[in-house]
A and B are shown apart, each in its own frame.
Chain A
Amino acid sequence: MADETLKVGIISCSGEEIPEGTISRLATRRVLELLRAGQTVTLCLPLFLAGGEGERAFAREHPTIAVDGCGKLCAKRGTEMHSGPVSASIVVSEILGDCPSGCGRSTKGTTDADKEAIWVVSERIAAEVDAILSSSTDCCTSDGDDNASCACSKPLPGMQIEVNGRPVTIAGLGLIFDHLAENGLEADDACGDKLLETVRIYHDIRPSEEQGYRSALVSAYKAYRR
Chain B
Amino acid sequence: MTTNGETARVLVIPCSGIGKVHGLISREATYEITDNLAQANADTMCLALLVMGDEEALSKIRSSHCITIDGCPKYCAQKNVELAGGQVAESIMVAEAFKNHRGAQPGTATKLTEDGWLVVREIAEGLSDRVQDLCGCEGEH
| A101 interface contact, C-beta 8 A | no
Is there contact, CB below 8 Å, between A44 and B117?
Answer: no
Is there contact, CB below 8 Å, between B111 and A105?
Answer: no
Interface residues on B, range: 35 or more
The residue in chain B whose Cβ has the minimal distance to the Cβ of A55 is B74
Is there contact, CB below 8 Å, between A16 and B30?
Answer: yes
Interface residues of A in 45-62 (CB under 8 A from B): 45-47, 49-50
What CA separation (Å) do A152 and B72 show in the bound complex? 9
Is there contact, CB below 8 Å, between B18 and A33?
Answer: no
Across the interface, which residues of B come within 8 angstroms of A72, CB to CB?
A: 49, 52, 54
Question: Quick one: given A16-B30, A152-B72, A156-B108, are A107 and B24 in contact (CB under 8 Å)?
Answer: yes
Is there contact, CB below 8 Å, between A42 and B31?
Answer: no
A90 to chain B, nearest CB (A): 15
Question: Quick one: given A25-B16, A47-B74, A50-B83, are A108 and B49 in contact (CB under 8 Å)?
Answer: no
Which of A7-15, A160-168, A212-220 is near enough to bind chain B?
A7-15
Which of B2-10, B40-48, B86-94, B131-139 is near enough to bind chain A?
B40-48
| A36 interface contact, C-beta 8 A | no
Interface residues on A, range: 35 or more
Is there contact, CB below 8 Å, between A13 and B46?
Answer: yes
Interface residues of B in 62-102 (CB under 8 A from A): 72, 74, 76-77, 79-80, 83
What CA separation (Å) do A29 and B77 show in the bound complex? 20
| A28 interface contact, C-beta 8 A | yes
What CA separation (Å) do A16 and B32 show in the bound complex? 13
Question: Quick one: given A46-B76, A46-B77, A152-B72, are A25 and B18 in contact (CB under 8 Å)?
Answer: yes
Across the interface, which residues of B come within 8 angstroms of A43, CB to CB?
A: 18-19
Encode contact with B along A66-101: 1 for CB under 8 Å, 0 otherwise.
Answer: 000000101101100000000000000000000000
Across the interface, which residues of B come within 8 angstroms of A33, CB to CB?
A: 108, 110
Is there contact, CB below 8 Å, between B80 and A50?
Answer: yes
The residue in chain B whose Cβ has the minimal distance to the Cβ of A44 is B17
What CA separation (Å) do A174 and B111 show in the bound complex? 11
A33 to chain B, nearest CB (A): 7
Is there contact, CB below 8 Å, between B31 and A106?
Answer: yes
Is there contact, CB below 8 Å, between A15 and B52?
Answer: no
Across the interface, which residues of B come within 8 angstroms of A17, CB to CB?
A: 44-46, 49
What CA separation (Å) do A42 and B18 show in the bound complex? 8
Is there contact, CB below 8 Å, between B51 and A46?
Answer: yes
Across the interface, which residues of A come within 8 angstroms of B23, CB to CB?
A: 44
What CA separation (Å) do A12 and B109 show in the bound complex? 13
Across the interface, which residues of A come within 8 angstroms of B112, CB to CB?
A: 107
Most A-side CB within 10 Å, residue of B19, B54, B72, B83: B19
Q: Enumerate 11 A-B pairs (CB-CB under 8 Å) in ascending A order.
A: A14-B16, A42-B19, A44-B18, A45-B48, A45-B51, A46-B77, A50-B80, A106-B28, A152-B72, A156-B109, A174-B108
**Pairs A-B, 5 closest by C-beta atoms:** A152-B19, A74-B48, A46-B76, A15-B46, A106-B31
A-to-B contact residues, CB < 8 Å: 12-18, 21, 25-26, 28-30, 33, 42-47, 49-50, 72, 74-75, 77-78, 105-108, 150-154, 156, 174-175, 178
